[in-house]
Amino acid sequence: MGMAGLALAWLKAHTVLGMPALVGEGLRGATSALFVLLLVFFGLKALRYPQAIKLEMHHPIRVNFIPTISISLLLLAICYLEAAPEIAFWLWVAGTALHLVLTLAIFGSWLHHTHYEIKHVNPAWFIPVVGNIVVPVAGVRFASPELSWFFFSIGLVFWIVLLTVVLYRLFFHEPLPARLTPTLFILLAPPSVGFVAYVNLTGEVDVFARILYYTALFLALLLASNALRFLRLPFFISAWAYSFPLAALTLATLAMSVRLSVPGFTLFGFGLLALLSLVIAALVSRTLLAVWRGEVCVPE
């Protein structure tokens, strides 16, 4: 998701900032290859260790990361929207159908659970339900607007519900474990993607679009004011939670600069693109180092 977000940001920067198209296209190809590779690994895991997949589906935290598969399909659909619309359509169909199934399954488990506690709640809980907001970004090109409004409504309403639950957990219970602390950046994603989806649906930056964007901007400032806390953390694979939300804010800012033609948004978008690129470069190098050292895919 983070790599797809980076590819989308550079593709958008080509049209908005005049950045080289080759960078975005190269990142799109690398992201596609990475998705296939990870999907193969996950498929082999499902074939050889089906019990492990079943345990993850019932795990109060890990289950929320399974829909990253369907969201990745939706993001790849957006990546190919202009270059290969037919491929984008089928990626979007697969991602939309799979995400609806996963949303219903995980939401149903929340309603009929016997093992969830408030300490299990963290920003990753946004992924299954709020991920529906991604559907309309490309969906307005492929299907009836009513279908896009359906998914947008699911994501928006339950974003507000889950945001309340997550903030309650953060305010009144123990802090997140260090391993999950990077997931605080996921707070950025719903209003940022929501802004992009809403503008695609309505075609304008109205009052509600501004509320979404400036909510994302406030959360970005809040997270930036705590930057030292994040920098002091040891590396966990969950650090990739920094990537996609930051990419979503970058895309929202570039979209804002196009719609309003305010130079400040263009400069801010350029700064965010540079920051996003540096963050993901650091994440890639640190992940490869962790793989070399055997620090990933180990028992917790």
Question: Is the pLDDT score of 179 beyond 80?
Answer: yes
- pLDDT confidence band for 103 (50 / 70 / 90): very high
Query: Percent of the chain having pLDDT more than 70?
Result: 100
Question: Is the pLDDT score of 300 beyond 80?
Answer: no
Q: Tell me the average pLDDT across 13-32.
A: 94
| Structure token digits, residue 31 | 């992201």
Question: Is the pLDDT score of 119 beyond 90?
Answer: no
Express each pLDDT in 213-248 by its tens digit: 999 999 999 999 999 999 999 999 999 999 999 999
Question: Is the pLDDT score of 212 beyond 80?
Answer: yes
Question: Is the pLDDT score of 195 beyond 80?
Answer: yes
- Per-residue pLDDT at 294: 85
Question: Is the pLDDT score of 298 beyond 80?
Answer: no
- Per-residue pLDDT at 59: 86
- pLDDT confidence band for 57 (50 / 70 / 90): confident
- Per-residue pLDDT at 110: 86
Query: Percent of the chain having pLDDT more than 90?
Result: 83
Phi and psi, residue 175, nearest 5°: -60, 160
Distance CA 253, CA 243 (A): 16
Half-sphere CA count of 187, side-chain side, radius 13 A: 22
Mean residue pLDDT of the chain comes to 93
- pLDDT confidence band for 139 (50 / 70 / 90): very high
Closest CA to 257 of 244, 271, 246: 271
- Per-residue pLDDT at 89: 97
Question: Is the pLDDT score of 109 beyond 90?
Answer: no
Distance CA 55, CA 59 (A): 6
- Per-residue pLDDT at 46: 92
- Give the DSSP letter of residue 173: S
Question: Is the pLDDT score of 252 beyond 80?
Answer: yes
- pLDDT confidence band for 32 (50 / 70 / 90): very high
Q: Tell me the average pLDDT across 146-158.
A: 96
Question: Is the pLDDT score of 284 beyond 90?
Answer: yes
Express each pLDDT in 74-102 by its tens digit: 999 999 999 999 999 999 999 999 999 99
Q: Tell me the average pLDDT across 117-128.
A: 90
- Per-residue pLDDT at 263: 84
Terminal Cα distance for the chain, rounded: 23
244 Cβ neighbours under 8 A, 6+ residues apart: 1, 2, 4, 5, 189
Per the CB < 8 A criterion, the answer to whether 94 and 74 are in contact is: no
11 Cβ neighbours under 8 A, 6+ residues apart: 21, 24, 25, 28, 79, 82
Per the CB < 8 A criterion, the answer to whether 116 and 165 are in contact is: no
> CB under 8 Å, gap of 24 or more: what pairs does 270-278 form?
270/13, 270/17, 272/9, 272/246, 273/9, 273/10, 273/13, 273/17, 273/19, 275/246, 276/5, 276/6, 276/9, 276/243, 276/246, 276/247, 276/250, 277/6
Kindly report the pTM of this predicted structure: 0.94
Ordered structural domains, the chain, with CATH: 2-292 (1.50.10.150)
Mean pLDDT highest for which of 104-108, 241-245, 292-296? 241-245
- Cα angle 117, 128, 162 (rounded to 5 degrees) comes to 55
